[in-house]
Amino acid sequence: MRILGIDPGLRNMGWAVIEVVGQNITQIASGTAHSDSKQALSERLSDLYGQLKSVVEMYRPDEAAVEETFVNSGAASALKLGQARAMALLAPARAGLFVGEYAPNQVKKTVVGAGHADKSQVSYMVKLQIKGASPDTADEADALAIALCHAHLRKSKQMRVA
C-alpha cells in the first residue's frame, strides 16, 4: 500500500509517499510543492495542482491523506489556505484515490502520542517509525506524519466513509 501524505500550504505544500507492507513502513519520496507569491492566486493554485498531479503520476499511490487546516489568522488568509487545501484534495481525488482527512491534533496524537506535540517531536517520531525517513523541511516531516497517521487509521476512516 502506497500512501501520499499532503501538508497543505499556499506558498509551500509538503508531500510524502510512504509504502506500507505489513508492519514495515518505508519512505519512498518526499518534497515540497512551491508557488510564487508574485503570481496571481489562480496561477499559484494551478502550479500547486500541477506539481501534486505529477507526484501522483510518478509515485502512483493507492490512497492519500490531507491535513485539515488550522487557521489562527485573518479571514483572507484562511480563505487562501482553504483554496490551497482544495488543490491538495483535488489532485489525488481526480486520480481516483481515496483521500483521508485528519485534524492536526489527530496527526500529532497518532504519531507522537500527544495532540499538542511540537514540530521537532513530530519530526523525531517520523524518523523513528518510517524506514529511510529523512525530511529536509518541516513541510516534508508534516507530510510524512500525515501519511503515517493515515497508515495507522485508514481502516476505521474507510469504514466511516463506506
Given the residues 19, 63, 139, 140, the one annotated as active site: 139
**Catalytic residue flag (residue 139):** yes
Active-site residue (options: 63, 67, 140, 142): 67
Tell me which of 7, 63, 140, 142 is the catalytic residue: 7
Question: Is residue 7 among the annotated active site residues?
Answer: yes
Q: What is the DSSP string of the chain?
A: -EEEEEE--SSEEEEEEEEEETTEEEEEEEEEEE--TTS-HHHHHHHHHHHHHHHHHHH--SEEEEEPP---S-HHHHHHHHHHHHHHHHHHHHTT-EEEEE-HHHHHHHHTS-TT--HHHHHHHHHHHSBT---SSHHHHHHHHHHHHHHHHHHHHHHHH-
Whether 67 is catalytic is yes
Catalytically annotated residues = 7, 67, 139
